[in-house]
Structure 1
Amino acid sequence: MTLASRIEKIHCGTFDAEQYWRDPHLAKLPGLTDSENLRIVSVMDELLFTFCSPSETLITRKAMNRAHKQYLAEIGFRFQSNSFDLDGELKEQGKSMLQLLFETDTDMFALGNLAMENVELEPFAAIPFTREASERHGFVCRIPDMETIRKVNTKTYSTEMKERLDLPNISLIVNHSFELQEVGAKLLREGSFLIKDNYGVSGKGNLLIDSPSILERIIAYTASQEKKGKFSQFVVEPYLDKQTDFSCQFVIDEYGESRILSLQKLANDEFAYQESYTPEPEFVDFLERAGYFELMRSTAEQLYRDGYYGHVCVDSMQLKNGELVPLVEINARKSMSLIKNQMDQYLAPQELKGNLRYYSITSTNAGLQFIDLLTGMEEAGILYKQGQLAGIIPLTANTLTINRKPGKPYKGRIYVSMVGQHESARKEMHQRLNSLFAELSLQVLN
């Protein structure tokens, strides 16, 4: 497979899109800011190579690691990408990829003499500067109005959607610390409950309240922000005893037609995403009989009526008592599970399956290079090569070393696809990778 001489589409993205949708005057829930984690998330855009064909380009905040890109080409992923960092200065670290792209000179990312007319820009999520970057560089940009995008990505919108679809709804919207105190006290008498930030995502912005003292601290924290002129809006709901998290990915075109792309089961830890894996056929059949997929089509219709089109991921769950909660929240963007689906399509011709997961690590090895991990995986016989029945595909490289610093412990992360025909083979790969981490003096945190 050779690279095309004409670029048709550019992929790029910022994975913490929620922070760029959020109103700066909206009160926040308390939480620690982890600068190392923020830097890791900033280079997760490497994962978007999974959407690229030879006629498409991936533009990332940091240039992709050469060894990583060469390995991906060897197993069939061929695409163009930038060979330089877009955020060269410290002051640019807080800027989104779309803002960096907007501010980047055209000739800096044009790739050789490739034709760049009528190129479509496809972001992971449509955030501010998406349209501006497209207009500056002459890209085709098909996204809804930004205010619509902001609205449909709020937790309050998801709560209101349950009412519109006539679904059981235990979620409540509170708009002031006084309301939070009143509603929270009532819920706490029945048991633990969650407070959800309007733009919370993957473990950030979800607080479990299980005592009056914790509730009072949250109320005081919120009230102090309101005194400074901020406004509050949260969703609160009883904590449910769930058995399974899963999600459905679909896309709505500009004419309102929707298409279901994927269904994935999820493993979450403390509300944070950890792994996507393929559901059993019996589970998919159960959802079909329960009318789940028809409900997803109805959700798509409502989103389109409100002016939204594009990618959507709906989070759902099944409780331990068997009850289905089909709509937990709507994420109007691409998702980790959609990336997992892209890998499913890649593996399908080989009749293989893969689980998408990540490993958080800490290390003091300032000399660690991604190629050290890649070489170690190959020598251990766990690096996936075409034609093998099992192996591990490293999906990111910069996430591993972005925080590397001399003489100090630092955090890293590696996203992988655990490939195998059977779950037992994938579990074996997991165990062997953990052994390799130990050999490289990498301590796994999750």
Structure 2
Amino acid sequence: MSSAYLRGLKKSLTGNLEARLVFLCNFEVEHTWAHNYVGLPMPKLSSAPATVQRMEELGALLAGSGDVICLGAPLDPGFKQYAADLGFRLPTELVVPKGKPGASTGERILASPDTLRRLAALADGRTYLMPMGASATEQKVSESTGLPLAAPDSDTMERVNGKIYGRRLVEELGIRPVPGECCETVDELTAAVRRGIEEGKPLIVKESYGVSGKGLIVLDTPVKAERLLRMARQRTARTGSRAIHVVVERFLAKKCDLNYQFTIDRAGGIHFDFVKEAQTADGVHLGHVMPTRLSATHLAELEDTARRVGKRLHTDGLFGVVGVDAILGADDTLYPVLEINARLNMSSYQGPPTERFLSSGAALAKHYVLDLEAPVPFHEIESVLGPLAPRGPADAGAVITCFGTVNAEADRRPPFEGRLYTMLFAQDRDALAALDAEVRDALSAVPPIQGIR
């Protein structure tokens, strides 16, 4: 039987507990949404596209045995057996033929007549395409196969996922905002940055469709601020356009970052799913810890915010999973909406493992960055982490949730970077820290691993 978490998603997204979902976990969707918007005038850093695409394997532990997952490469046989031994019933794999370099799994589906036929054969009235977020690519897959989306259309999802949209929604609803403002022209950016710098506090400038530390710059000196504005003016001189789509936020001293999720069903009903403490560094997501140490007052405020934001999103045509980033300030002031991610998010994929192994105690979801000299076979990872795995439901231990990202960059000249996604379960946070150290020590014994971050 699939997890209660998954059954709840199916009920909310399709109205049918027994629906079959075809997962297309397009972690790169923000890059597609960003195409129509002008970002920061900076060189675009590589987003490790091979690694990002292989993150689609995180969907294997979310999906149930009756579901299907579309993948650019098959799951490792050793990982599949490992997951089965832990009690997970994995979905059917639909491996998409290789296409042009850099193409997403969705783009490769559209370029493969055979894959389109195989997906079309699944259309039976109870089977839905479940993207992480719908862009024009996923909508075209839906239209080409007859599989209805278990998500809103791509125009709706693009519109409600911009940071500018989110700030304006917060202002409209009278929710306590993170101090800042929206900028849609270079003149507005110039005024906002200079106002902020005069206050003497660092500023964070974010592209409306940036994600996980990409499309973000910290301005902590007047020199950096003027450099950014000069680059914006130079681009305007080159292109003749003064457009830019960013938000400028004041830096806040904080106790912790938060991430909470709620689900809007098709009729507009809202279910508060969970809240976790988010671990970040320089704007980059590193992991989640749960449960949080929030007060009952703060939890009630988050639940009320979810209800209000969810109602407003549904008015704008949205249903489905919504992840919200929030901040608990150093003075205990709660800023309940920093960003709205109206799509599946990293926390969404952690539902079934959490349900299976966390009955009490604490959990930490994180990835380990591995500096590798050569590809690592799964059995080498399992041989050192196997003794740390839970022995059964509700037991403590370390669970591998995605292995494909470890060797995703193996075609590069070594050393190359791999990521091992995990969830750790223990009786409390101190025990989590000890288990984290054990995992690091164990991984350091694997010969191709030259370093762990």
Q: Same fold (TM over 0.5)?
A: yes
Q: CA deviation at 1:407?
A: 5.7
User: In the alignment, what sits opposite 1:404?
Assistant: 410
Q: Does 1:436 align with 2:442?
A: yes
Q: TM-score, normalised by structure 2?
A: 0.88
Alignment of 1:106-185 (within 5 A): 106=114, 110=118, 117-118=124-125, 119-169=127-177, 170-185=179-194
CA–CA separation in structure 2 for the residues paired with 1:181 and 1:115 = 53
Q: Which residue of 1 aligns with 2:77?
A: 66
| 1:376 aligned partner | 384
Q: In the alignment, is the contact (CA less than 8 A) between 2:98 and 2:108 conserved in 1?
A: no
**Which of 222, 232, 248 is the aligned partner of 2:244?**
232
Q: 2:344 aligns with which of 334, 356, 361?
A: 334
| TM-score in terms of structure 1 length | 0.89
Write out the 4+ residue segments of structure 1 that deviate beyond 6 Å after TM superposition. none
Specify the code of the residue in structure 1 equivalent to 2:193. Answer: G
The structural deviation recorded for 1:384 is: 3.3
Q: Percent identity?
A: 21
- Asked if the contact 1:11–1:58 (Cα under 8 Å) also holds between the matched residues in 2, the reply is yes
Select the residue among 419, 427, 432 that pairs with 1:426.
432
Q: Does 1:80 align with 2:86?
A: no
Picking from 293, 310, 318, the partner of 1:308 is: 318
Alignment check: 8 A CA contact 2:372 2:451 kept: no
User: 1:360: which partner in 2?
Assistant: 369
Structure 1 CA distance for aligned equivalents of residues 411 and 101 of structure 2: 19
| CA RMSD between the two structures | 2.5
2:267 maps to 1:260 = no
1:343–1:354: 8 Å Cα contact kept in structure 2? no
Report the equivalent of 1:14: 26
Instruction: Determine helix, strand or coil for the equivalent of 2:406.
Output: helix
2:195 counterpart of 1:186:
yes
Matched, 1:220 2:230: yes
Tell me the distance in 2 between the aligned counterparts of 1:298 and 1:83: 39
1:389 partnered with 2:395: yes
The amino acid that maps onto 1:323 is T
**Other structure's SS at 2:110 match:** helix
The one-character-per-residue Cα deviations of 1:219-251 (angstroms, maximum 9, x if unpaired) are 222233333255212111211111111121111
Rate the CA distance shift 1:238–1:407 in 2: closer, same or farther, 3 A. Answer: closer
* Cα distance change, pair 245–109 in 1 and its aligned pair in 2 (3 A): farther
Whether 1:97 aligns to 2:105 is yes
- Say if 1:194 and 1:237, in contact at 8 Å, map to a contact too: yes
Matched residues in 2 for 1:387 and 1:175: separation?
A: 51
* Equivalent position of 2:288 in the other structure: 276
Q: In structure 2, what is the Cα distance between the partners aligned to 1:196 and 1:62?
A: 33
Structure-2 residue corresponding to 1:242: 254
